[in-house]
Amino acid sequence: MTGELSLKFPLPSWLSGSFLGLNLLNLWLGVIIGVSIPFLTDYLKEARWSFSEIGVATAIFGAGALIFQPLSGLFAEMTPRHRTLLSVVVFVYGLGLTLLPLAGGTPVVADTLLFVSGGASAFFFTLSSTLAFSLSGHRNFARTMGQNQMWNHAGFLVSAAGTSFLIHRLGLLSGFLPITLGSVLALLSIGLIRRKDMVYHQTRSGPGSLEHDEVRDERPLWRVFADFFRNPAIRTLLISTALFQVANTPVMPLLMLYLRFLDGGNGKLAWVVILAQATMIPVAWWAARVSSRWGHKLVFSLAFLLMPIRSMICATTMNTEILLATQILDGISAGIYGVSVALIVSDLTRGKKGFNLLMGLSQIAMALGAVVGPALQGVSVGNVGFRFAFLVFAGVAALAAGIFSHFMPDRLEPSR
């Protein structure tokens, strides 16, 4: 033979280069986020904190996210160094929560660490979505976000299963160990994302190489910000997602406390996270696939409508198997939410400045819910019990669903 037979099997894009780095980043972000908040309430309970103190502590974490959230979108809009900024906040988040067990039962120290970590977490979704948009452009953004969210929810699942194993073997305190490893691996994953692959940095016009990705907008950022609030669709998005998070954020930790109250042990606690995250993985893929065909509003409306049903079921039963099964509804809602918010933002800013800024604003609404929700949880459980608390969150979820379904237009137009 005068030549050599060469067989090449090219890897799919999501398993190579920058896209692999982005997907791995989302995996490890899921690990470090998934292990912290759901198990935090149980850790603080074992440290003999009251329900009210636990509610305040988780609300302080949300307050850190709320206060720093405006900076996430603003910084992402002003600087191209998204990878560097994300590396810094991942390091700060991991360090803060790694040190949390050393605080023992001292609320001041623990609350300070939670506030700092919450502030760092405010940048995660905005910057990871920005990197996804920079790598894929508008045309492929839905597919990229679907993949990212699948990996992110897989990270939550790995976190829940791994932490459950560690707790079973080594005790509840060991549940914080994956944060350190996950943070280090997230930093290494960021290093795999190459600047040269980012379409945003290859063109002066903005994310994407196609005409509908070009940004032809000379407005200063303050004007972009002001114009957002003249757009009814953006106002609806911000209000409804804030209410969505008020209704959704406290329910998982509240359910974990309720199951421990009913069952008296830790056996079912891991399944609260595992069932939800296992459901989110295929739902994220499905939501990204059908959104362009069915419309973002219709798909996102399903997430809103399932939330009050879930909380109502929790309020009307003491059967632990049924309570666990409600996490499937949570998985469907949250799986859609993670994809749909970013897709709606990309449509509302198509051809205009402000993708990063509006992503940050949408996360402010989410962070606001993360502050108000746990505070309501602490007050409700401490004074009137678990079942009334679930009813309160069901009512808020129903209000969010009504606002989104009625006021969000079917056709999304960019702000002008």
CB 73 within 8 A of CB 355: no
Q: What is the pLDDT of residues 153-198, one digit of tens each?
A: 888 888 877 777 777 777 777 777 888 889 999 999 998 988 887 7
In terms of C-beta density within 10 A (0-12 exposed, 13-18 middle, 19 or more buried), how is residue 213 classed?
buried
**Region of poorest pLDDT, from 197-206, 326-335, 345-354:** 197-206
Helix axes 37-46, 269-294, angle to 10 degrees: 160
% of the chain at pLDDT higher than 90? 20
CA gap 317, 330 in Å, rounded = 17
Q: Residue 401: is its pLDDT beyond 90?
A: yes
Query: 401 and 224 in contact (C-beta within 8 Å)?
Result: no
Encode 34-67: b = buried (16+ Cβ within 10 Å), e = exposed. Answer: bbbbbbbbbbbbebebebebbbbbbbbbbbbbbb
CA distances from 340 to 118, 222, 226, 285, 344 (A): 23, 26, 23, 11, 6
Residues 6+ apart with CB under 8 A from 25: 86, 128, 131, 186, 189, 190, 193
What's residue 301's pLDDT? 92
Query: What is the arithmetic mean of pLDDT over 91-99?
Result: 89
> Which two tokens mark 289?
């696939």
Q: Which two tokens stand for residue 338?
A: 């993670």
pLDDT(23) > 50: yes
* Confidence class for position 286, pLDDT limits 50, 70, 90: very high
- DSSP annotation of 131 reads H
pTM assigned to the model:
0.78
Query: End-to-end alpha-carbon separation of the chain, Å?
Result: 66
pLDDT of residue 264: 58
Q: Is 150 left (phi over 0), alpha (psi -120 to 50) or beta?
A: alpha
Give residue-wise pLDDT tens across range 190-237: 989 888 877 654 444 444 444 445 566 667 777 878 888 888 899 999
CATH of domain 13-198+223-407: 1.20.1250.20
